[in-house]
Amino acid sequence: MLQTLVVICLALASRVTATPTFSLFPGTIFEQFPGFEGATILTSQGGHAKCVRGNLNVQTSSSNVKLNYDGPSSQLALTELVLENLQVNSPLSASVVGAKTQVSGSYKINSQICWPSSGSMNASSIQFLTHGVGFDKSYWDFYSSDYSYIDFMAEQGYTTFSYDRLGVGASAHPDPIQVVQAQMEVEVAHTLIQGLRSGSYCTTKFQKVIGVGHSLGSILTTGVASQYPADLDAAVLTGFSIDAAGFPVFFAGLNLVIAKENNPLRFGLLQNGYIVSDTKVSNQFGFFRYPNFSPAVLDASERVKQTLSIGEFFTNAMVLAPAPEFTGPIDVVDGENDLPFCQSNCLNNGNRAAEVKGALFPAASAGSDSYILKGAGHGLNLHYGAKDAYKHIAGFLAKNGY
Ligand SMILES: *[C@@H]1O[C@H](CO)[C@@H](O)[C@H](O)[C@H]1NC(C)=O
């Protein structure tokens, strides 16, 4: 049955891509993607993946926290907020973070499923990709085939799901203070994963889900593994460790500004609680290490840079908890010179990537692994060595039977 669907799916796909299709017509591949509104077909950077992209309606409810903060009313107030947060023994968080409060809503999440263009969608597993701060889902299919995680994995036979997190890119932008908080994003991820397993977005019911994160996306993936241990069969955590010593310098270096003032064309409709790194220099400081990247890739990452919400700013760390019930394998992959998670040296007195298993995943299986990508900064996918990391991750997955 499933095989038949996949075959039909592919036959229709080749027919449809000959002429661009922008709406859901009966008898097209889009019938296999019932959850995707306004679906379009595209290919990955290197052409190894074919993708369907559209909006999923995600109904969710989250135990958020009430934040006693209405701003920032101006750039002066935002800079003051960041400064106060970085103050030694800062009382800011304690005064702003209030009681738990339930927040519910239905949010459009712009998503895509990509599968090998040379083969079929394999229902045995899907990789669930969650991007970090400063990017959207294009982080996983960036610039050219040299950097595209999605393209590389499709070449190895893997199907991927990637999405713009709530409050980012083409997804919904609700209240950036009370709604777009880390716990809400864990609930969004949980709902999406359930939908991929049950076949409500795509008629293929994926049997195994491999959570793959970058930075905040890795914190959220760990949050899912901690709160919903049955959601994920394996976890790949990139740009991640339990060492937060580099965070103050990282946040200072981002030079956070009000997004709509920074780029009215891209962010003009957003509330002041959506903030963004200021310039290409701020972007390089937070995510890159020269000369191990192409200046054209830094330019591209500045052009598509994305926002952070004040809600995330105050709640990111709250979902980072051990996942003692998670028994699958984990793979932790860091750029050697990751600023936020390694204070720019992941091999200083030990190995920050290797330390994650003992600290957060005590029951992770023996197939767990870690990898340090030489010379890369926090945005490891955007460095020359990106494919070495992808090869390592594909090896980790194969070794564990995925
Ligand atoms: C699907 O993936 C599984 C696990 O990696 C593999 O054993 C199987 O051969 C794949 N099936 C196809 C049709 O590629």
Expressed as residue numbers, the domain containing 312 is 2-399
CA distances from 148 to 142, 143, 233, 332 (A): 5, 7, 23, 19
> How far is the centre of ligand 1, averaged over its atoms, from the C-alpha of 231 (Å)?
21
Atom 2, ligand 1: residue with shortest CA distance: 124
Instruction: Measure the CA dihedral 136/141/147/148, to 10°.
Output: 140
Atom 10, ligand 1: residue with shortest CA distance: 122
| pLDDT computed for residue 25 by the predictor | 54
* CB 219 within 8 Å of CB 145: no
**Running DSSP on this structure, what letter comes out for residue 87?**
S
* CB 260 within 8 Å of CB 270: yes
Integer Cα distance of 310 and 84 in angstroms: 14
Burial code (b: 16+ CB inside 10 Å, e: under 16) for 304-326 equals: ebbbbbbbbbbbbebbbeebeeb
Atom 3, ligand 1: residue with shortest CA distance: 124
Compute the chain's Rg from CA coordinates. 20
**Running DSSP on this structure, what letter comes out for residue 255?**
T
Residue 16 banded pLDDT, cuts 50, 70, 90: very low
Global confidence as pTM: 0.93
Phi/psi-derived region of residue 397, left when phi > 0, alpha when psi is between -120 and 50, beta in every other case: alpha
- How many domains does one find in the chain? 1
3-class SS at 290? coil
Atom 13, ligand 1: residue with shortest CA distance: 122
> How far is the centre of ligand 1, averaged over its atoms, from the C-alpha of 124 (Å)?
7
Ligand 1 atom closest to the CA of 122, numbered from 1: 1
Ligand 1 atom closest to the CA of 397, numbered from 1: 5
Q: Which of 124, 155, 207, 402 to mutate to test the pocket of ligand 1 (most atoms within 8 A of CB)?
A: 124
The model's pLDDT over 373-388, given as tens digits with 9 standing for 90+, comes to: 999 999 999 999 999 9
Atom 9, ligand 1: residue with shortest CA distance: 122
Of the chain, the percentage scoring pLDDT greater than 90 comes to 92
Around ligand 1, the residues with Cβ closer than 6 Å are 122, 124, 157, 402
| pLDDT computed for residue 18 by the predictor | 35
CATH number at residue 112: 3.40.50.1820
Atom 5, ligand 1: residue with shortest CA distance: 402
Integer Cα distance of 284 and 290 in angstroms: 8
Query: For the chain, percent helix, then strand, then coil, each to nearest 5?
Result: 40, 20, 40
User: Does position 268 have pLDDT exceeding 60, yes or no?
Assistant: yes
Tally DSSP H helices, then E strands, for the chain: 15, 12
The model's pLDDT over 28-55, given as tens digits with 9 standing for 90+, comes to: 888 999 999 999 999 999 999 999 999 9
